[in-house]
């Protein structure tokens, strides 16, 4: 689960007296070079990140590139702060996450107990009140994750349409550092601009009507952000 380590269901029995202290410390994501992105995030994310598509033939998801090397996030600064204006929802939801019950009937709110801000000393926001009911803080987390799931389903439908239109092609980014070192990053896909332009008029009209055509062009435009990664790497390696 990428940034998650010790995920357990959030319960009053286990987490009575526990709190979560949120901070600007994003070290928990320092070793991931990409994270999933929801379609609704494209307009903001495209300004700072390269948006790509990852996965296999039957399971494609948008993602943002965070680093040029494996296990390295160039958007986590030396002081562990996040080095961009927009923080992806996948990162913002941490240390909480939904998990599916074994019968597949419902989602259960879980927490990563390995999170540095998880504590039993009362620092930050309490998870349960004196009546052992979830606090308003937890209620807000639930609403955020419920909306995340809604956007996840919408993103899946968006990706399904892209697959059906056969717009994606494998891509490899070649980056040359100031030192002359060359790095190659692969394992992801991008929309083929020529295939997109060659779509029949009715298909383009359908994409435009649902604002999905805008998302595709935001994705293509965002690829220019690869050019800023070498400078981030140079600063990271100082």
pLDDT in tens, 226-236: 989 988 988 88
Q: Check if the beta carbon of residue 89 is closer than 8 Å to that of residue 41.
A: yes
Nearest to 115 by CA among 225, 51, 25: 25
Rounded to the nearest 10 degrees, how much is the dihedral formed by the CA atoms of 2, 70, 76, 62? -60
Which pLDDT does position 181 carry in this prediction? 81
What is the structure's pLDDT at 59? 87
Closest-CA residue to 227 (of 83, 48, 76): 48
Are 138 and 10 contacting, i.e. CB atoms less than 8 angstroms apart? Answer: yes
- Residue 11 token pair: 């319960």
For residue 134, list its beta bridge partners.
128
Burial class for 202, CB neighbours closer than 10 Å (0-12, 13-18, 19+): exposed
pLDDT, position 226: 92
- pLDDT, residue 216, reads 98
pLDDT of residue 210: 95
Picking from 83, 81, 87, the residue whose alpha carbon sits closest to that of residue 64 is 87
pLDDT profile of the chain (238 residues), mean per 10 = 93 96 95 97 98 89 95 94 97 95 86 97 96 96 96 96 95 82 89 97 96 98 93 83
- pLDDT for the residue 175: 82
CA dist., res. 121 & res. 118, Å (int): 9
89 C-beta neighbours (distance < 10 Å), count: 20
**Ramachandran angles phi, psi of 49, nearest 5°:** -120, 155
**Could you give the 3-state DSSP secondary structure of residue 45?**
helix
Closest of 33, 28, 53 to residue 42, by C-alpha? 53
Q: From CA 212, how far away is CA 219, in angstroms rounded?
A: 11
Tokens 């107990």 sit at which residue? Answer: 113
pLDDT recorded at residue 178: 74
């Amino acid at each position: 689960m990428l940034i998650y380590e010790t995920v357990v269901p959030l319960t009053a029995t286990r987490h009575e007296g526990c709190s979560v202290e949120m901070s600007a410390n994003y070290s928990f994501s320092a070793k991931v070079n990409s994270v999933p992105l929801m379609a609704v995030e494209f307009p903001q994310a495209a300004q700072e990140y390269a948006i790509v598509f990852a996965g296999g033939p039957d399971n494609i998801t948008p993602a943002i590139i965070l680093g040029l090397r494996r296990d390295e996030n160039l958007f986590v600064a030396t002081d562990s702060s996040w080095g961009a204006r927009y923080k992806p929802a996948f990162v913002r939801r941490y240390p909480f996450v939904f998990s599916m019950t074994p019968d597949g009937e419902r989602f259960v709110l879980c927490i990563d107990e390995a999170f540095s801000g998880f504590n039993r000393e009362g620092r930050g926001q309490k998870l349960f009140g004196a009546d052992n009911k979830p606090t308003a803080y937890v209620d807000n987390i639930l609403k955020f994750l419920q909306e995340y799931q809604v956007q996840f389903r919408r993103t899946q439908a968006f990706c399904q349409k892209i697959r059906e239109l056969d717009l994606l092609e494998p891509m490899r980014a070649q980056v040359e550092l100031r030192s002359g070192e060359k790095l190659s990053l692969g394992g992801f896909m991008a929309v083929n601009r020529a295939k997109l332009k060659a779509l029949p008029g009715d298909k383009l009209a359908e994409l435009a009507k649902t604002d999905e055509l805008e998302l595709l062009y935001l994705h293509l435009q965002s690829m220019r952000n690869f050019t800023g990664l070498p400078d981030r790497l140079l600063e990271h390696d100082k």
